């Protein structure tokens, strides 16, 4: 896929050079000289696409993934006490090292990095909002 994008980018770049050398009569409609498979060069790399998610995760999705992760966490003593407001040490019986492991698991789950100052303040799943 990357190779195809690079080849398409090279083709578009070579055609954009040809397009700039056209007579003034065709310069009015430059899109006629480039096939529709190429993109109009708005930047230095005309044929490269950037993909991203249309929107972020909803709050219910995030809460569900965190709850599933905590249910499967082997050091949670009583999973029946697990809720959005349950405190890690008081309700779930996790010590400070376990809390660090939970924060690290959340970082891995969502591919994010939580700064240490903010990670120290996470004491319940409610404080993750």
**Rounded to 5°, angle at Cα 111 from 55 and 118:** 100
Widest CA span in the chain? 78
120 is known as an active-site residue: no
Q: Which of 68, 95, 98, 120 is catalytic?
A: 95
Of 39, 51, 42, nearest to 8 by C-alpha is 39
Give catalytic residues, as residue numbers: 95
């Amino acid at each position: 896929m990357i190779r195809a994008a690079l080849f398409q980018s090279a083709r578009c770049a070579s055609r954009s050079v040809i397009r700039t050398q056209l007579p003034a009569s065709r310069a009015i409609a430059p899109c006629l000289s480039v096939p529709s498979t190429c993109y109009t060069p708005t930047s230095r790399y005309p044929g490269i696409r950037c993909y991203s998610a249309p929107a972020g995760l909803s709050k219910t999705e995030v809460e569900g993934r965190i709850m599933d992760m905590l249910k499967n966490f082997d050091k949670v003593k009583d999973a029946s006490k697990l809720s959005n407001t349950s405190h890690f040490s008081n309700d779930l019986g996790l010590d400070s090292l376990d809390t660090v492991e939970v924060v690290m698991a959340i970082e891995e789950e969502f591919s994010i990095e939580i700064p240490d100052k903010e990670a120290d303040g996470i004491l319940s799943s409610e404080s993750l909002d």
